[in-house]
Structure 1
């Protein structure tokens, strides 16, 4: 019996919705400003993208440049009380605004339809907490995207990315027979680590999400040379993280799945 893929597990922001992953990044900037009158750049806010949001704030506090400015302002390193306060500030802002960043990334609807036609199940994991995802899932469903399961960063006692637990919860929810028949698709390095740690094939998305940081309009207007320069910068980061494949966006996924199935038929495993 030949091995066949059973499921594709997608990330959310920057992968299937919110081209450029702007909802979380801008709100991190706003939350730091509102909570402590502390300024972050968008580039700094993007740095730990893919982690759970509390862990994202924690990672920002450990960033050398951010830590230096924090210590200069407050005379000490960021502590857990500070992280809690920023997180409590972040959450209502994220819930309020996430619906405005729920437009599907071009190719999402068509790719998901093709996957379902092939008989594949659709899972999803996210660095968003459940309270944010309840809002985002409602808007995404109205836009035509409803995965079979969604596992959030605060759903599991074991934790979130870069550990395998959210992806493995999808395996349980979807009743998958073998993790090697799953493909994890993500625009962040923690998301690639999640898939690799779960024993899955992994696909990194270079241009639709956080690494490139382009709006959809900027992507459309970019020259071939500009896009090539972005690919040259981003692809090695994904490859170093262990991504089996690196493509521009979800619109380019189907040929990758064909190649994975070819490799499965030959006895290869992730």
Structure 2
């Protein structure tokens, strides 16, 4: 029994690694330009936001650095958003490979989730390092809160992504519908403002959005004076795990039907 488990574990790991390399090749291309664009895109977006809002405001809602304030809101949201789409299209993207018995839909989801997490964390790290080296910022980062914020964003992205994986596979139009539904999240998640400063009853309504908690937690890692009193990791993880449970329940029941349907 132990030998069978060990062989299955090795097979799964090998499949996930192979899927990660395949994803890297198809998403970013074989040239360095693809990876460079993955870094430049968020940098340009934050630079644009900095220029626009620096003319309208004397200082950001926290600290004195506009790029840091927007980065601590923008990157967690981008990680979550990228995860929901990448995981959501895992079966569709790897349908041909899933015909092989050694490759499962769980491998496909794991491969995309791991690559999305590592890529976004790397880009965020490079951007923050740039702010320190080029911008001359002196940061006192709370790495426990930082890790928790990344964990919350990844968990929520995977939870919603697994539900999307089922729905997108059964109803392809959901990809476009989800993209439209998810757009207001960029505005109401607190990227441009502090949820804490919003008056009632609107603050309570905004706090139903789990991404608002992720961004508050992320900012508390970079701003020692910001306590993020309204951030609730338990709330975010609870939503993520409930969605994950029901998502895998649906995929476990219908993944064969989904694969046969597209054959």
More helix by share: 2
Same fold, judged at TM 0.5 (above): no
Higher strand proportion (structure 1 or 2): 1
> Which of the pair has more CA radius of gyration?
2
Name the TM-score, length of structure 2 as normaliser.
0.29
